[in-house]
Every structure is written in C-alpha cells, then in structure tokens.
Amino acid sequence: MPRPGRNTYSDQKPPYSYISLTAMAIQSCPDKMLPLSDIYKFIMERFPYYRENTQRWQNSLRHNLSFNDCFIKIPRRPDQPGKGSFWALHPNCGDMFENGSFLRRRKRFKVGGVPVPDPLGPSKPQDAAHFLHQQAKLRLSALHAAAHLPQVPAGYGLGSTQQSGFKHPFAIENIIAREYKVPGGLAAFPAAGYPLHNQLSPAWPHMYGPGVMDPAAPLSVAPADYSAYGMPLKTLCHGGQTLPAIPVPIKPAPGLPAHISAFLAHSPRSLSPTSPQAAAGQGSPAGPAEPLQSAVAVH
C-alpha cells in the first residue's frame, strides 16, 4: 500500500477506498452525478493501477455503490435511453470522512440517521431529482453569465466556505484541486470557475466548493473531458507537493436543502441499498423520478 506523500501512485494502488474513489469521480463532475461507466473512466484515467484487473475492482465498486447509503441512484429519463442509472453522493455524507480525509471514513453513512423533514420542501423522490436537475441548469446558466465576470482566483474563492481551518490533504478538494496545478495555474482553465462554484454552492456547498471541478466542463463526462485538463499522474499525486493544497472543508454547511433531505428520508429504496425496491423499480415507488438527464441534455 503506497503511503500518502510518496512520489506517485502511478502504478501502485492508491490509498483510497472505492468509496473515496467513487466520491471523487462524482464530485469532480459538474453535475455531481455520473453513470457507472464514467465513474470507471474517471478512476482508470487517474489511477493507472485500476487499468488492470478491471473486473475485480469494478465489481467491488458496484458493490460499494449499492451497499453504501452514501451513494444515491438517480434513474435515467425514459427518453434518454442508456444503460444504468446515474450515481450521486448523498448530500448528508459530507462529514462521512474523518477530517475530510478520503483515506478512511470515520463512520459508515446510513440513511435515516439524519432525516430532516421540511414542510416547505418537496418530499417525493421526484422532487429531489428535480432539484438536482435545477441545480445543474442553474450552474449552466450561471456559467454563461460568469463568462462575462472578472476572474477571482484569489484563494480559490474560499469565501463561500463556512468553515475554516486545516483540511486533510486527502480531502476531495485537495485531491482534485491538485490537478489544477498545471503549469500556468488557473489560467489553464476557463475563467470564473471557482467564484462561480461559490455562487452556486448554497445548495450543496461541500460539493460545489472551490477547486472541485472545472465548471465549464461538459456535463456528461467522457474521457476527453478529463484529458482537457488531465495531467501527469505525478501532478495528481502527493509526492513533492505542498500540502494541503487548498484548505477547504468538505463538510456540508448548515442549511442543506431540506427537500433533499426529505427526498432522502422518504426515499424507500433507490437511496437505501437494502430495500428490494431499488433493484426492481429503479427507485421511486411512484415510477421513474423526474429524470436528471435533462440537465445533461442542456448542453
């Protein structure tokens, strides 16, 4: 097992669990949701170790997706055919990892432990799915607007984070943010990215935190998307780097959208891997949720 801080993980097994890797993939996507195949791609492109024995680790990864409540399955829309559903992170799983570190969770995330019923928010799974759609659309709209805004790279736009203090070098923001440390720094990426995320982060601030993702990246993640800002693995990894790269909290800020919580609290199966409904009905008991795919189709 490679030790954090060593030169590279290039061909060694990264010190991240499959849960962590999956979380990275999901959070690196502007939509904060990815189909399984794109999660595979993300991992294989960034961690050469996983380019081999694909069946083994992919089986494990699928197991984790289903087994862990921190991952939620979002059905495809009927008019958006394709294999498999989209996978997203449970909004309340932000504090799942010890000190924000993705090396090891401090506790297993379980749905039902933090139900936050909200009389103002939607309570149906469709509503939460719709909310995710709206978030994606909102980001897109803001992207266009942000293209005309001055870039504010200072501090990676940390202003939106409600918390301060050291974050573990293995926090997702730090891990992914390192990939932005390309020669030329932020100039290598579309302008207004980080501030934009900050503006869009009130819903899931831990997800839309600074330095998480290129906001202008296509909504559907493909290998080419990553290559656009991909970089040598040595850059991705920890060796010889100044850590922490970006002290950003991964924990969700107070005020998580209640309808998301309600969605999760009321979701019988698609969010809870132990119910038979998910396997049979792709989640919502009221039929396919308002699909998020429309957000992907925006571009």
Partner DNA sequence: GGGTGTTTACCGTGCC
Partner DNA sequence: GGCACGGTAAACACCC
Dihedral of alpha carbons 85, 86, 91, 97, sign: positive
160/270 with CB nearer DNA:
270
239/281 with CB nearer DNA:
281
Alpha helices in the chain, H assignment, sequence order: 18-28, 36-46, 54-67, 125-146, 172-177, 193-199, 223-229, 233-236, 258-266, 276-281, 293-297
CA angle, 289 as apex, 288 and 293 as ends, to 5°?
A: 100
| Binding residues for DNA, total number by CB under 7 A | 39
Q: Which range of residues in 144-152, 223-231, 234-242, 266-274 is near DNA by CB under 7 A? A: 266-274
Task: State which of positions 225-254 bind DNA (CB under 7 A).
Answer: none
Q: Does 107 bind DNA (CB under 7 A)?
A: yes
Beta pairing partners, 89: 71
C-alpha to C-alpha distance for 209 and 274, rounded to whole angstroms? 31
With beta carbons less than 8 A apart as the criterion, state whether 100 and 167 touch.
yes
Which of 27, 28, 85, 126 binds DNA (CB under 7 A)? It is: 85
Q: Does 16 bind DNA (CB under 7 A)?
A: yes
Backbone φ and ψ for 34, nearest 5 degrees, come out as: -145, 145
C-alpha to C-alpha distance for 100 and 166, rounded to whole angstroms? 10
66/162 with CB nearer DNA:
66
Q: Does 35 bind DNA (CB under 7 A)?
A: yes
44/231 with CB nearer DNA:
44
Q: What is the DSSP letter of 205?
A: T
Which of 46, 105, 167, 206 binds DNA (CB under 7 A)? It is: 105
Q: How many CB atoms lie within 10 A of CB 13?
A: 12
CB of 105 to DNA, least distance (A): 3
Task: State which of positions 55-84 bind DNA (CB under 7 A).
Answer: 56-57, 59-60, 62-68, 73, 81-84
CB of 265 to DNA, least distance (A): 18
224/280 with CB nearer DNA:
280
Which of 214, 273, 284, 293 binds DNA (CB under 7 A)? It is: 273
Which of 23, 25, 26, 36 binds DNA (CB under 7 A)? It is: 36
CB of 62 to DNA, least distance (A): 4
Count of residues in the chain: 299
Q: Does 49 bind DNA (CB under 7 A)?
A: no
CB of 10 to DNA, least distance (A): 17
One DSSP character per residue, 235-272 reads HHS-TT--S-S-----SPPS---HHHHHHHHH--STT-
Task: State which of positions 186-215 bind DNA (CB under 7 A).
Answer: none
Tokens of 242: 């100044």
Footprint of DNA (CB under 7 A) = 16-19, 35-37, 40, 56-57, 59-60, 62-68, 73, 81-85, 87, 104-105, 107-108, 269-270, 273-276, 278-280
